[in-house]
């Protein structure tokens, strides 16, 4: 089951994100999810400790 995350960002940041996604040939969704997944992977031990408690 998919959940939605919705928020507003500054127009200049949006332009930068859009340019980055065009350069990498990915959608904004793919780009943002990739960033989130990388961050979670880098924090995996901390997250596991938190969930186990």
Q: What is the pLDDT of residue 39?
A: 92
Q: What is the pLDDT of residue 49?
A: 72
Task: Per-residue pLDDT tens, the chain, 53 aa: give them.
Answer: 999 999 999 999 999 999 999 999 999 999 999 999 999 988 876 766 777 65
Q: What is the pLDDT of residue 50?
A: 72
Q: How far apart are CA 17 and CA 19, in angstroms?
A: 5
* CA torsion angle 49 1 26 39 (round to 10): -10
Q: What is the pLDDT of residue 53?
A: 56
Q: What is the pLDDT of residue 43?
A: 84
């Amino acid at each position: 089951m998919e959940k939605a995350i919705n928020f507003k960002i500054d127009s200049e940041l949006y332009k930068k994100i859009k340019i980055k996604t065009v350069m990498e040939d990915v959608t904004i969704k793919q780009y943002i999810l990739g960033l989130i997944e990388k961050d979670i992977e880098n924090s995996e031990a901390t997250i596991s400790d938190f969930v186990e408690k």
